[in-house]
Amino acid sequence: MRIIFFGSDDFAALHLERLLSAGYEVLACVTGPDKPQGRGMKISVSPVKEIASERKIPCLQPLSLKENAIVNALKSYEADIFVVVAYGRLLTQEVLDIPKMLCINVHGSLLPKYRGAAPVNWAILNGDKETGVTIQKMALSLDAGDIIAQEKMGINDDENAAQLRQRMALAGAELLVRVLDKGQFPSSPQDETKVTWAPKLTKEMGKINWHAPAPSIVNQVRGLQPWPGAYTFYNGKMLKITQAQISTEDTAKFTPGQVMNVNKTGFYVACPEKAVLIKEVQPEAGKVMPANSFVAGYKIAQGYSFI
């Protein structure tokens, strides 16, 4: 089975590695263009390109899949299947029609729930207890293809989006290989009445509203890892909250956002009805640190109010 692999990030790279370890013939990889990153604007390549380079697999990096050159290049490989994992761009109908068999996609949710760019994050943001991965036949509409296979998995109460995403990548890669090993791809249409969406994350989503319920804030902290991160402000500077949990501390004498208590575990911030225990933070332009180290170094005390 001759495959062209579309993908860019570390989630996609893990799937590519699994395909190669399973002995599948990957004719070429399609990934995003190289980008300058960081203060030094050093050119950065995608994790998929790194693997392709190591394995001496041709790597295509088109700015657009509508270009005649890329369409003709893809046709020239005479691939059986296109496998798409976290590529970040929609495939045109012309590209979808190229492989001899079909295009399949690995998506990080139990479709039709959470179609879109950030399904893992939104599952945690919404407080879900279960998620999963889906293998679907690709269609022109976003994540609307018929379902070939799904695998459910629980979401741990203390798990953040980065950790869940890693588990889902492992599960998705194994499911992908099992589907390809069968060599046949029976599928079922999605129930359009049950569609929900997982739109792109924005930096503004990270701003904590201390008047929100404590469970919602904890889910925000978990769900927005590693980007954009949940944040508040301490003495006018951004303070990212990287680990938090719900607390049963009595909030009656405090206003939302006010520090109620400080101890070796961290510091407690009042919310309506319940409190949030802040266990790990990242000061502006600083490194991630335990909350008790932040307390000691920045002299935070009971009664301070976050905004």
Q: What is the pLDDT of residues 94-125, one digit of tens each?
A: 999 999 999 999 999 999 999 999 999 999 99
- Tens digit of pLDDT for each residue in 131-143? 999 999 999 999 9
Give residue limits of the domains in the chain: 2-194, 203-298
Helices 161-182, 10-21: crossing angle, 10 deg rounding: 30
- For 241, list phi and psi in degrees, rounded to 5: -100, 115
pTM, to two decimals: 0.95
- Superfamily name and number for 203-298: Formyl transferase, C-terminal domain (3.10.25.10)
Query: How far apart are alpha carbons 158 and 155 in whole angstroms?
Result: 9
Of the CA atoms within 13 Å of residue 67, those in its CB half-sphere come to 10
Place of tokens 């998506």: 107
Q: In this structure, what token pair is assigned to residue 210?
A: 């201390």
- By mean pLDDT, which of 93-102, 169-178, 244-253 is the weakest? 244-253
- pLDDT-derived band of residue 42, with 50, 70 and 90 as boundaries? confident
* CATH class of the domain at 2-194: alpha beta
